[in-house]
Amino acid sequence: MAAKAAVLRQHQGAMKIEPVEISSPGPGEVLVKIKACGICHTDMVMRDGLLPVPTPVVLGHEGAGEVVEVGDGVTHVCPGDHVVMSFASCGGCPSCVEHDPAYCHQFFPLNFFAVRPDGTTAITAGGEPVHSHVFGQSSFATYAVASGTNVVKVPADLPLEVLAPLGCGIQTGVGAVLNSLDVRAGSSVLVMGTGAVGMSAIMAARIAGAARILAMDLSADRLALASELGATDILHPDGKKAVLELVQGAGLEGVDYIVDTTGVPPLLAQAVPALNIRGVLGLVAAYPPGEKLDVEMAFMMSGGRRIQGVVEGSSDPQDFIPKLIAWYRSGLLPIDRMMKFYDFADISTAIEDGESGKVIKPVLVMS
């Protein structure tokens, strides 16, 4: 099928929209006509070659659209269904069997190798193969062949451009708070960084009934929105005061949970001493491989404090995305407040606005 896709020909280059051919869905796959795709920070990490995604490739992993055709063995969706796509998982490893697919033993190859398990791709340009199946989808395109496991049916009455980012950034932030850290009602939560993931964590902390929700960022605009979305306190790191001092300045001895979405090691090292007894630090950002965190073991041991890695908010998308949609409908998760919509042709502007911090969640709309 003829389609258009934003092809990245070399790492650190620009994505250019090109005519491409998309293959039919294979066994277990779904062909989706893409209506919208959010831009996630991980797309930029892949673009820059910091994850070993091969080129030429089509990125994009927050796609939403309408099912056109299903391959053999796919029974949970049918043509005409509206769907959101999330990350890919194998379905058969110990984590997948226990409904914990974010920790799939095949997570890395399935989401970053940009080929099917048999080594083929679903996209060609001028007869040459282009890597597909990034996060089981490659949705910076007008059509995508997705892995069936990551396609989630959604209600047809809601705008797909608002639902698209549920598949990665939003489920990561909300899931970090509600699934991974399982934040207790009445507790205190510090969210470091108020991008799409951090802002989602703030909304989730409010859903969890946290008594104090502290938002930390350099951007005054983002902190203002964070306050509207649930933050009870805003912290401005000034480079001089330690995180613990900032927390104490808000009248707290420490915090019960820290959600780190910044990935800035010196800031993290400073944040650990702000953990209360039984406190948990959630590592939610994209951390540079090899980077280490310096922590005092006696401090961690004595209060039963923990550090926990978090992938995709420990979500099982098939269960969690419908929950996110219910919260969106009820007004508890006003995710559209952080979005800006762009025509697919304006992908470069959308990426620029996301990277400069001008827009929290840019979303491409395929007409």
Torsions phi, psi for 88 (to 5 deg): -95, 150
Of 42 and 188, nearer to Zn ion (C-beta) is 42
Q: Which helix (H) or strand (E) holds 222?
A: helix 220-229
CB of 168 to Zn ion, least distance (A): 3
> Is 22 or 285 the residue whose CB approaches Zn ion more closely?
285
Residues engaged in binding Zn ion (CB under 5 A): 40, 42, 89-90, 93, 96, 104, 168
Beta strands in the chain, from DSSP E residues, in sequence order: 2-8, 15-22, 29-38, 57-58, 63-70, 82-85, 123-125, 128-130, 143-147, 151-154, 188-192, 212-216, 233-235, 255-260, 275-283, 306-309, 339-343, 361-365
Contact 183, 189 (CB under 8 A): yes
- In sequence order, what are the beta bridge partners of 70? 30
Nearer Cβ to Zn ion (68/93): 93
Of 210 and 359, the one with the shorter C-beta distance to Zn ion is 359
**CB of 212 or CB of 361, closer to Zn ion:** 361
**C-alpha triplet 159, 321, 222: angle, nearest 5°:** 70
Question: Between helices 220-229 and 196-208, what is the axis angle to 10°?
Answer: 30
* Minimum distance from residue 135 beta carbon to Zn ion (Å): 7
Apex 349 CA angle, 140 and 5, nearest 5 = 20
What is the nearest approach in angstroms of Zn ion to the Cβ of residue 117? 12
Question: In this complex, which beta carbon is closest to Zn ion, that of residue 104 or of residue 258?
Answer: 104
The answer to whether residues 104 and 110 touch, using CB atoms and an 8 Å cutoff, is yes
